[in-house]
Amino acid sequence: METHPIPTTKTVTTKQSVSSYVSTTNACKLCKPMGACLAFRGVEGAIPFLHGSQGCATYMRRYIISHFREPMDIASSSLGEKHAVYGGEANLKQGLVNVMKKYGAGLVGIATTCLTETIGDDVPMILKAFRQEWASREGSSDLPFLVNVSTPSYAGTHMEGFHAAVRAMADQLARRDEAHDGVNLFPGFVSPADLRYLKEIMADFGLRTILLPDYSDTLDGPALEDYEKIPRGGTSVRDLVSMGGSRATIELGRTLSPRRWAGTQPGPTLTARDGNSSGAQAGPTVMVREIDTAGTLLEARFGVPLHGIGLPIGLRESDRFFEILQDLAGFCMPEKHALERGRLLDAFVDGHKVVFGKRAVVYGEEDLVVGLTAFLCEIGVKPVLCASGGVGNGFREAIEAVTRDILPDPPEVREGVDFYEIAEEARELAPDLLVGHSKGYHLARRWNIPLIRVGFPIHDRFGGQRTLHLGYRGALALLDRLINELLERKQEDSPVGYGYL
């Protein structure tokens, strides 16, 4: 990949970056326990369990079901008024017994809610007592693995809940009994289609992979004759336990460990098939590592080398991912993927005029926005506003890192914003298109511009769970959709109505 950045001294705008209003209107984020539930759904035999009042589980189930169009059972300790006063311990224990009995869960992922965090339930203590009581019971069966994560919805978004649950599983389950040649892959919150594609890529590189979470089957499963109490698929608990002995970890998401990314340029130069990794050219990758993700934890505790990179969206971020795989596998990119990369470049060329100079507003989860922004500026689209509901994760630095050598004018970056502010900001920027999830549709409608639906939730289109974002294949799929959307607009707006474009 050759880029010829226009030299610029501009930095990302320093206009106030966080919300200027007290009230929130149409949030661009979801709550923390929801992310944890999604992550737990990606473990084999696991059931997500919310320690809180009944409504949380029900609301989240409905929200998740409407996107994936799959059953999503979330158990709840169903706390009532007296539990809020006396504590939720008894209900949590009873709920666990019921879930074990009826779901036969191999793992119960227990996430707290604002209710139980505020009344001060000490979930690790309760679980400890529960394990002891269970062990002393006559003829009691083996307990499932119980993983707990603290997810008060007043501190962080669904993405923080998602990563916290992945980290909790690494923290509470992983051991290093023996070193093995497996690779941990923490993909972040991507679609089932993305997960399937990642597994395909890893297999093509001959890498035995522990993908966490893996809800590629559990949230996009086949038609069944019998309702499965817990849908098939997901990362096996045995694999989770062995994560401490893996030869490496790949963790996707530039904002996961903010300071790690300060000053890092995307995309080492990778030409298809040269096979000589040049990761060292990528700039200083390690400055300070905080032990705040599953990957950093496994590295600190067991010495599993961590490769922390952005979500592989677009050419450069995908190159970076494939480069790591080449290193780990010890051989060059298999021809199948080299060809996909080639086709992507071919499509970049074929379609470049349609997209050049189009102004895009990109919104949603921080890492997804960073990846999409990296991709959009590669094809000549101009991201004018990058916005997220989350705060304080190095979003700005990550956007800067993926745009500064390719975009003459850096985009506005706004964190902690809602759709009211996104609208306010975007109106002045006169965007040609929106890139994000369904909840921005009202803006697309108001301004009569296309919305390229990506990420979660997609509640107003079919097949959201099968949207491919990652890798060369995902970039090509996004490019096709983007170009076709623009062509359709052009065709519809044309007085001539050319049938040959």
Partner 1 sequence: MEDLLFEERADQIHRKGEKPYQMSCDRESLAGAVSQRACVFCGSRVVLYPIADAVHLVHGPIGCAAYTWDIRGALSSGPELHRLSFSTDLQEKDVIFGGEEKLYQALTELIDRHRPKAAFVYSTCIVGLIGDDLKSICRKVSQEKSIPVIPVESEGFKGNKRAGYNAACRAMFQLMGTGATDSISPISINILGDFNLAGEIWIVRDYFHRMGIEVVANITGDGRVVDLQRAHGAALNVVQCSGATIDLARMMQESFGTPFIRVSYFGVEDMAEALYSVARFFEDRDPRIMERARDLVREELSTLYPKLQEYRKALQGKKAAIYVGGAFKAFSLIKAFRLIGMQVVLVGSQTGTEEDYQELHDITDEGTIIVDDSNPLELSSFLKEKDVDVFVGGVKERPIAYKLGVGFCDHNHERKEPLEGFVGMLHFAREIYTSVMSPVWRFVPRKTSRSGNGRSSRADGHCGRLAGQSA
- Give how many residues touch partner 1 by CB under 8 A: 73
Q: How far is the CB of 137 from partner 1 (least distance, A)?
A: 17
Sign of CA dihedral 2, 328, 188, 458: positive
Q: Residue 79 or 468: which CB sits closer to partner 1?
A: 79
The answer to whether residue 119 forms part of the interface with partner 1 (CB under 8 A) is yes
Q: Residue 22 or 280: which CB sits closer to partner 1?
A: 22
Which helix (H) or strand (E) element contains residue 105?
none
The answer to whether residue 112 forms part of the interface with partner 1 (CB under 8 A) is no
Judge if the upstream peptide bond of residue 431 is cis by omega within 30 degrees of 0. Answer: no
- Spatial CA neighbour of 233 closest among 207, 189, 196: 196
The answer to whether residue 471 forms part of the interface with partner 1 (CB under 8 A) is no
With CB under 8 A as the contact rule, the residue among 36, 38, 96, 146 that binds partner 1 is: 96
The answer to whether residue 285 forms part of the interface with partner 1 (CB under 8 A) is no
The answer to whether 362 and 387 have CB atoms below 8 angstroms apart is yes
CA angle 274, 276, 280 (to 5 degrees): 135
**Is residue 445 exposed (0-12), middle (13-18) or buried (19+ Cβ within 10 Å)?**
exposed
Range in contact with partner 1 (rule: CB under 8 A) among 146-154, 297-305, 372-380, 443-451: 146-154
Q: How far is the CB of 337 from partner 1 (least distance, A)?
A: 24
With CB under 8 A as the contact rule, the residue among 37, 39, 79, 451 that binds partner 1 is: 79
Which residues within the stretch 41-60 sit at the binding site for partner 1 (CB under 8 A)?
A: 49, 52-60
The answer to whether residue 24 forms part of the interface with partner 1 (CB under 8 A) is yes
d(CA 27, CA 146): 32
The answer to whether residue 325 forms part of the interface with partner 1 (CB under 8 A) is no
The answer to whether 104 and 229 have CB atoms below 8 angstroms apart is yes
Give whole-number Cα distances, 342 to 273, 316, 319, 320, 346, in Å: 11, 13, 12, 16, 6
Q: Residue 13 or 24: which CB sits closer to partner 1?
A: 24
The answer to whether residue 147 forms part of the interface with partner 1 (CB under 8 A) is no
With CB under 8 A as the contact rule, the residue among 1, 13, 17, 71 that binds partner 1 is: 71
The answer to whether residue 34 forms part of the interface with partner 1 (CB under 8 A) is yes
d(CA 408, CA 405): 8
Q: How far is the CB of 201 from partner 1 (least distance, A)?
A: 20
Judge if the upstream peptide bond of residue 383 is cis by omega within 30 degrees of 0. Answer: no
With CB under 8 A as the contact rule, the residue among 1, 84, 179, 406 that binds partner 1 is: 84
- Spatial CA neighbour of 70 closest among 237, 236, 230: 230
Which residues within the stretch 381-440 sit at the binding site for partner 1 (CB under 8 A)?
A: 389, 439
d(CA 34, CA 4): 42
The answer to whether residue 193 forms part of the interface with partner 1 (CB under 8 A) is no
